[in-house]
Structure 1
Amino acid sequence: MSVHDNLAEGFETHRSRLRAVAQRMLGSHGEAEDAVQEAWLRLARTEAETVRNLGGWLTTTVSRICLDMLRARAARREDPAGHPVPDEGQDLAGSCPEREAVLADSVGRALLVVLDRLGPAERVAFVLHDVFGVPFDEIAPVVDRSLAAAKQLASRARRKVRGAPAVPGPELARQRLVVEAFLSAARAGDLDAVLAVLAPDVVRRADRAALAAGRPVEARGARSVAEEIVVFGRHAHVAEPVLIDGVVGIAIAPYGRLRLALTVTTARTRITGYELIADPNRLRRLDLAVLDEALTPGG
């Protein structure tokens, strides 16, 4: 077997892990595949005897490629938030590759949304250390920082991902139960179950960017709000509970890209009000964090 064949065989043993690393860094199956392929091309151009630890070399290489891609994305000022919200007759998941939906489901939509809020170096440091357990002495050269600075990057990213609840743990757990019941009823299209989780005098508010033409910015009363929610249920399969400004809310994020946020107020077992936010500037100002530490690596 030639040296090139040995490298190719070794690369294939690491491919799935490299893909998992790149997917979490980039939030896109297609871009992750591009990054992994570029890592192979760089390996093929490298003298085999200079690669002492193939797994480490490949992880470092694909991480640097992802970092460059994230920086290029930031330079173009790409923002996953603020794309037009489809009306009730459209399917949020209908126009993109199925693999992107699989990626969002496997990584976690909420986590992908929050990772999109991190700076490129923060995201790379966090994914490598907190998700894949790469030691900081290997991360530091990837992000071109000192060991101490690489640790600070990951620490800062960790605080952003986990957020800071504005209420005590038991209250947060209560809010979450109510929001999850709301989502479950919406996904099922069960009007009675939706009514059961709404306060009789519930109020729904929305910015204009979140509404189809002709819909009012405010709706009042459980029945009128519930009927809207049953329609909203068409999109509830891409909705996840998240921490929004310290309390439990909902992110609607096809493929992990934030399109709509719901800030929710609750009392006991009922929702007393919520607001639909789709305006790009308002979405950017929201402080989003994950509710669970869904950070385990996968394929």
Structure 2
Amino acid sequence: MSTPAGAADPFVEHRGLLFTVAYEMLGSAADAEDVLQESWLRWAAVDRDTVRDERAYLVRVVTRQALNHLRSVSRRREDYVGEWLPEPLLTSPDVADDVELAENVSIAMLTVLETLAPTERAVFVLREVFDMPYDEIADAVEKSPASVRQIAHRARDHVAARRPRVQVARSEHEQVVEQLARAVNTGDLQALMDVLAPDVVSVADGGGRVRGAARRPVIGAEKLAKYLMHGVAKYAGRMTLSPILVNGQPGLRMDVDGEIAGVVTVTVENGKVSRIYSIANPEKLEHVDAVMPLSR
């Protein structure tokens, strides 16, 4: 189907969706942009008169390119120094208002998706996030519809066993994040202990480039509070945490001497922080100054 004269190119029209598909599969905005560039070149070369459903066709192209990319970067991530976390994105309130989308693009969920095999991840994303029919997913991943149904079931069970157990209202999430920021900004140890769950787990990604970023998870409120207070003392008067929307969720931007030094997101259970994700690798902080368009 050729594009009518004067009409927006379908690739441009659906770019937000296509970027979101690639990002959901890769957890990296930089890699997602590479996939879109590769997909655009393929789209530019196709005979549009042979394409019946442009949106489905473009999603299929992007999915296949993302799968190829995901397989090629798997070794790179295995050799990564310390914990690997997804690249955080500054997002608009519209993303946060779409509760299902916000949950699925959250750092917590993307971290869970990292534990899926590439094809399982593609099937889960296309079915659970974008509600694509099984036959379209089958075309995208080059499997039979029956096989895709089995993969989808297996992926759902895998994710359900690892995703945050309790979903909380955005207002409660924001309140807990504000408590955490206030405790750290003021250096109030007791306030920090009050907001952390006893079995809290903190995962940091410094990529081996940030001194002081823990290379292994820090577990337990007392141990984590001491670790955080050490950082507060080290950067006394130079570090601030301020609220931002990260991947559709309330999060925190950490600045040191007025320059961004990290992004923090948390999961909340029973009014307390149960898990902290801290991304400080400078290579992963390039998309926190401008809102990124995520859509479905």
Q: TM-score w.r.t. structure 1 length?
A: 0.58
- Over 3 Å counting, the alpha-carbon distance change for 1:231 and 1:185 in structure 2 is farther
Q: Is the CA contact (8 Å cut-off) linking 1:19 and 1:32 kept in structure 2?
A: yes
Match of 2:182 in 1: 188
- Over 3 Å counting, the alpha-carbon distance change for 1:234 and 1:109 in structure 2 is farther
Equivalent residue for 1:126, pick from 124, 127, 134: 124
Give the Cα–Cα distance (whole angstroms) in 1 for the partners of residues 176 and 231 of structure 2.
11
Offset of residue 11 of structure 1 = 2.0
Is 1:156 the equivalent of 2:154?
A: yes
Give the Cα–Cα distance (whole angstroms) in 1 for the partners of residues 48 and 199 of structure 2.
65
Deviations 1:212-244 (A, max 9, x none): 59xxx999979x84983883996883131279x
Matches within 5 A, 1:141-290: 141-163=139-161, 184-189=178-183, 190=186, 191=188, 192-196=190-194, 225=226, 228=229, 231=232, 237=252, 238-241=264-267, 249-254=274-279
Give the Cα–Cα distance (whole angstroms) in 2 for the partners of residues 76 and 227 of structure 1.
29
Match of 1:287 in 2: none
Structure 1: state its 5+ residue gaps.
85-91, 257-296
Q: Is the CA contact (8 Å cut-off) linking 1:14 and 1:55 kept in structure 2?
A: yes
Give the Cα–Cα distance (whole angstroms) in 2 for the partners of residues 135 and 205 of structure 1.
37
Amino acid at match of 2:64: R
Q: Is the CA contact (8 Å cut-off) linking 1:113 and 1:253 kept in structure 2?
A: no
Matches within 5 A, 1:17-36: 17-36=17-36
Q: Which moved more, 1:118-127 or 1:151-160?
A: 151-160
Q: Is the CA contact (8 Å cut-off) linking 2:108 and 2:163 kept in structure 1?
A: no
Give the Cα–Cα distance (whole angstroms) in 1 for the partners of residues 120 and 80 of structure 2.
17
Structure with greater proportional helix content: 1
Amino acid at match of 1:241: T
Equivalent residue for 1:112, pick from 96, 110, 113: 110
Give the Cα–Cα distance (whole angstroms) in 1 for the partners of residues 46 and 112 of structure 2.
36
Amino acid at match of 1:254: I
Offset of residue 69 of structure 1 = 0.6
Match of 1:266 in 2: none
Deviations 1:58-96 (A, max 9, x none): 010001000111111124454667259xxxxxxx9xxx8
Q: Is the CA contact (8 Å cut-off) linking 2:193 and 2:222 kept in structure 1?
A: no
Match of 2:15 in 1: 15
Q: Is the CA contact (8 Å cut-off) linking 1:194 and 1:229 kept in structure 2?
A: no
- Over 3 Å counting, the alpha-carbon distance change for 1:63 and 1:7 in structure 2 is farther
Give the Cα–Cα distance (whole angstroms) in 1 for the partners of residues 5 and 161 of structure 2.
47
Q: Is the CA contact (8 Å cut-off) linking 2:196 and 2:274 kept in structure 1?
A: no
Give the Cα–Cα distance (whole angstroms) in 2 for the partners of residues 251 and 130 of structure 1.
25
Offset of residue 183 of structure 1 = 5.6
Q: Which moved more, 1:101-110 or 1:49-58?
A: 101-110
Deviations 1:92-120 (A, max 9, x none): 9xxx8xx7455999621111111111111
Percent identical across equivalent pairs?
A: 33
Q: Is the CA contact (8 Å cut-off) linking 1:219 and 1:225 kept in structure 2?
A: no
- Over 3 Å counting, the alpha-carbon distance change for 1:182 and 1:231 in structure 2 is farther
Match of 2:39 in 1: 39
Give the Cα–Cα distance (whole angstroms) in 2 for the partners of residues 13 and 116 of structure 1.
29
Offset of residue 42 of structure 1 = 0.4
Aligned residues: 231
Give the Cα–Cα distance (whole angstroms) in 1 for the partners of residues 159 and 240 of structure 2.
28
CA RMSD, 1 decimal: 5.1
User: What is the DSSP-based 3-state SS (H/G/I as helix, E as strand, rest coil) of the residue aligned with 1:251?
Assistant: strand
Structure 2: state its 5+ residue gaps.
97-101, 203-207, 234-238, 242-250, 253-263, 282-293
Offset of residue 134 of structure 1 = 0.7
Q: TM-score w.r.t. structure 2 length?
A: 0.58
Give the Cα–Cα distance (whole angstroms) in 1 for the partners of residues 160 and 81 of structure 2.
20
